[in-house]
Every structure is written in C-alpha cells, then in structure tokens.
A and B are shown apart, each in its own frame.
Chain A
Amino acid sequence: MATHEVTFPVMDERAILELRAGDEVVVQGHIIGLRDRTQIRIFDQGVEPPMDLRGAFLLHTAPNVRKVGEGRYEKLCIGTTTSARMVRFTEPLGARYGVRAICGKGGFPDEAIEPMRRHGMVYFAIVGGAAALETTQIEEIEEVAWEELMPECLWKFRVRDFGPLTVGIDAHGTSLYHDVNEEAKKRLEGILARL
C-alpha cells in the first residue's frame, strides 16, 4: 500500500486517480469544513455556496471555535463527524461542483461508490474522535461563510500534514467498507454456525 502527499484543491484529476483504497494520504493546502445543515442549504434549499468548491477537499465537521473579531474565528477543538448521514450529497457535489475528496468518519455506504467513480472522487477515512491531533494540524481558519448556521457553517481551513488518512473509497469503484463488511458477514456466518 502506497503513501501519498496531496495538496488541495486538486485541479488535475490524475492526482486522485493515483489513490487506491487502503493507501495512506497526508494532506496539505486548503480544506473546507461543512456538515448536514450546510449541505441541506446548498442542495435542498438551492442556495449557491459562497466558496469555490472546485477540486475541493470537504471535511465533515462542526468545529468548536472562539470568535475573535468580525467573521474571524480561532480554533478550540476541531474533530470529525459521522459521514453516513450525508451520503446523498455525493453525486451533486461531484457533478455540479467538481469536489474531489470527502473526508469523515465511519465511511460511506455503497451508494457512494458509483458517483465517486463517475466523477473522479475519493472518500478519506479519518480517525474519528482524534480531535486533539486534528486541531494541531489545522493551521488557521481562513474564512467562514453562513455564520448563522454556527457551527455548521462553511469553513475554510489551511492545513499542514493533515492525517494520516486512509483511502476508504477510491475513484475506481473499490470501497474498503464494502469489502470489510462482506468479509465480516461471511465470517459471522461461520461463527454463528459454531455457536
């Protein structure tokens, strides 16, 4: 399994196609934080996001921050939330906005595999709950939009050595979650037969 360093936003699709399920990735550059309500506003209420999402890395988060001025925030504790609730946004994020990576905890169900393959996207697994470490890897909160949705705003973070992440679903149709689950179900059958 390979190790990669990727800087976001990614404008060249090849950088995404190189990543295979199980690979380790460390991320540099800029990432965008958002959660349920942010995406509900974009897709269910049809409001255009005031940030460019092309080539973006999206992180499922609702950060803990302190306000230090007009539209300016300081990080306190930034962690990651469960992704599965937000899987339905994968297709439009890829098709309409050209998002390249979605990162969260717990994985996406199988319905994400096809949109990710079609639009050249990957799902990165972060270690859920490892917020103390994650916070140190976020250098600065550079921008925030839709403050009225606090803490589920659109956040732009500058990161350094963000990770290590694991490619959970790649752009070639392989999902570690699918494979692990299939294998676990098979093993479970064997275990139950022995009980």
Chain B
Amino acid sequence: MSATATSNRLQEAVLEAAAYLYVWALKDIPQDLRDALADAAERETSVAGQRVLSTILKNVQVAEDESNLVCQDTGIAVYTCRVGEHFPLHPARIYEALRDGTARATLEHPLRSNAVHTITRENTGPNIGHRLPIVHWEFVPDWGGLDVKCVPKGSGSENMSFLKMCIPADGVKGIKQFVLESIVGAGGKPCPPGIVGVGIGGSADYAMYLAKEAIARPVGTRNPDPEVGKLEEELFTLLNETGIGPMGLGGDVTVLQCHVEHADTHMTLNPVAVNYQCWAARRASAHVAADGTIEFDREA
C-alpha cells in the first residue's frame, strides 16, 4: 500500500475513534468514578447530601438503561493525545481526525452543539470551531502507537476555574489556601462532589494546562512524586472538611478527589491553578496502533 493510502486509512481510524469516544464518554462513565460516587454515598451523613448522591447513582443507571446522556451538557470536547515517535500519522492529521470525529458524533447522534464564536456568540459548527476541539499533546519516544482520551468538559464546572500567581514566600501553604478558598467560593455551582484539579509550577498558562490534565486522571490515582502525592491527600481531607457537600447543600462529601500535577518553575514564580471537574467526570480512552487497530479502554 502507498504511504498516502496508509495514512488516509489511519486518519479514518482516528476519526472513528474520536467519534465513538465522544458519545461513549457522555453516556457511560468509568468504573473508578462509579466506585467513587458509591463510596461517597456511603460516607455522606447529611440528609440532603444523601438524597443528592443516591439521585446521582440512580441517574447513572438510568443513562445506561436508556442509553441516554448522563448529563445534558455535552461540553466542549477536550482530547489528550500521547503520540508515539513512530506513529505513522502526523499530528496535523491527527488533529483533523479529532475535529472531524467530533463533528460526526455531534451530527449523527445528534448531540447538542455548544460551540460559539467567543465575541459574536454565533454557533460555529457541530461542537467544532476555531481551535475547537482542544487537544493536549504529549510525544513519546521509541513507540509506534497513539493514545487518545476524550474529556467532554461542561461549562458549570469549567466556569469554576481559578488562577493565582502566588509568590515563592507564600510556599505550599499559599497553594493550599488558594485551593480551599476557591472551592468554598464555588459552592454548589460546579455540581459537587467532583474532582479538583490543581496545577502548580510552570507558568500561568501551563499551571492551568496541568490542572486540566489532573482532572483527566482516573479518580484516586496518586501523583508518583511523593511530595505532590502527599499534597493531594492533604487537600482531599481539608476540602471535605469545608462542609459544602453534594450540590452545595451541606454535607461531608464536597470533593471525590483532589489531583495535583506539577512542573518545575522559575525561582521567583509560584503559580497555582484550579480546574474543577463535576461529578459527571466523563472521560473515555482508546489506543490506536500503527496499523489502525483501535482498542477502547475504560480504565485510562
């Protein structure tokens, strides 16, 4: 087969994967999240909080039984891609495939299209537009595959995003304080209990990027850096002490988890970014091999 025929076929495979992932993510939430929600329902002692959590669990089941969307907000499509050095399709084409897959899923299902021009507010297409969908890239040496993860991000939780350029003297204490104040300020608006993503270090933009990476991790995975893992544990405990509770109605479970991602930074910088992911923390993944075989993955 010619090189063009191979890459056309591969581009179609990535497109198909993206179209499937977007709908799958919206309908069928991953097991780790289901477990976290069930665990939360067991821990919660407030009456209103229990009512919310049991309704959420029932809703997840109804979505499955009726093959309906877990939440009506189809979000903006965000993908994270890990591209192997030897994967035979250029990222420019991978991006095209993700965009076309998003559009196909939106039109064929059909899904609500949320994409608008940021000034005119006119719809820009089937969940696509200028720089939409959003793709995070990572490049992996000595590998020939592609991992794609789709994270549809709802606006209720995305609106609860916060950035602070702490100063180095604020230290880790400043980081903790900002995260706690952000979540108390957000109250019931981001549909708690969800995943608090925190990005620290790097630069202003990169810290927020890391916070978004953090919410896309399976619930309860720990950052391999022991210092960062410790911060995750501590923030998780403290955030739940605030008493905001499910949907902000008061209770023991304010967050399902806190995930932190970090980057080294400038000696006079200490950025901290918070990105909230609601209880409908939808994500779905696929591995695409160099020959175009697709393997879908619930766990990643």
Contact B73 A180 (CB under 8 A): no
Contact B71 A179 (CB under 8 A): no
A184 to chain B minimum Cβ distance, whole angstroms, is: 5
A176 partner residues in chain B, CB cutoff 8 A: 48, 249-250
Contact A166 B51 (CB under 8 A): yes
Complex: A23 Cα to B250 Cα, angstroms: 13
**A185 interfacial contact with B, CB 8 Å:** yes
**B247 interfacial contact with A, CB 8 Å:** yes
Interface size on A, residues (CB 8 A): 44
**A68 interfacial contact with B, CB 8 Å:** no
Nearest B residue to A137 via CB reads B62
Contact B243 A184 (CB under 8 A): yes
**8 A Cβ contacts from A57-109 to B:** 63-64, 76-82, 84, 105-107
Complex: A105 Cα to B188 Cα, angstroms: 8
Complex: A129 Cα to B245 Cα, angstroms: 16
Which of B2-10, B94-102, B175-183 interfaces with chain A?
B175-183
Complex: A164 Cα to B247 Cα, angstroms: 13
Residue with the greatest number of chain A CB neighbours at <10 A, chosen from B190, B248, B278:
B248
**8 A Cβ contacts from B58-76 to A:** 58-60, 62-63, 66, 68-73
A69 to chain B minimum Cβ distance, whole angstroms, is: 18
Complex: A152 Cα to B250 Cα, angstroms: 31
Contact of B278 among A107, A129, A188, A191 (CB under 8 A): A129
Complex: A136 Cα to B187 Cα, angstroms: 28
Residue with the greatest number of chain B CB neighbours at <10 A, chosen from A24, A136, A176, A188:
A188
**B189 interfacial contact with A, CB 8 Å:** yes
Nearest B residue to A180 via CB reads B250
Residue with the greatest number of chain A CB neighbours at <10 A, chosen from B51, B156, B184:
B51
- Per-residue CB contact flags for chain A residues 176-195 toward chain B (1 = under 8 Å, else 0) read 11011101110110011001
Complex: A166 Cα to B190 Cα, angstroms: 17
Nearest A residue to B155 via CB reads A82
A138 to chain B minimum Cβ distance, whole angstroms, is: 12
Complex: A132 Cα to B168 Cα, angstroms: 46
A78 to chain B minimum Cβ distance, whole angstroms, is: 7
Nearest B residue to A151 via CB reads B112
Contact B58 A133 (CB under 8 A): yes
B190 partner residues in chain A, CB cutoff 8 A: 106
Contact B187 A177 (CB under 8 A): yes
Complex: A42 Cα to B71 Cα, angstroms: 28
Contact B71 A131 (CB under 8 A): yes
Contact of B243 among A76, A127, A187 (CB under 8 A): A187
**B140 interfacial contact with A, CB 8 Å:** no
Contact A79 B73 (CB under 8 A): yes
**B124 interfacial contact with A, CB 8 Å:** no
A108 to chain B minimum Cβ distance, whole angstroms, is: 10
Contact B187 A180 (CB under 8 A): yes
Contact B188 A166 (CB under 8 A): no
B48 partner residues in chain A, CB cutoff 8 A: 1, 22, 125, 166, 176
**A7 interfacial contact with B, CB 8 Å:** no
B24 to chain A minimum Cβ distance, whole angstroms, is: 15
**B16 interfacial contact with A, CB 8 Å:** no
B256 to chain A minimum Cβ distance, whole angstroms, is: 13
Q: List 27 A-B contacts (CB under 8 A).
A: A1-B47, A24-B51, A64-B69, A64-B112, A77-B112, A79-B73, A105-B156, A105-B247, A106-B187, A125-B249, A128-B71, A128-B247, A130-B71, A131-B59, A131-B69, A132-B66, A132-B70, A133-B58, A135-B68, A164-B55, A176-B249, A177-B188, A184-B243, A187-B242, A187-B243, A191-B238, A195-B173
Residues of A within 8 A of B (CB): 1, 22, 24, 63-64, 76-82, 84, 105-107, 125, 127-136, 151, 164, 166, 168, 176-177, 179-181, 183-185, 187-188, 191-192, 195
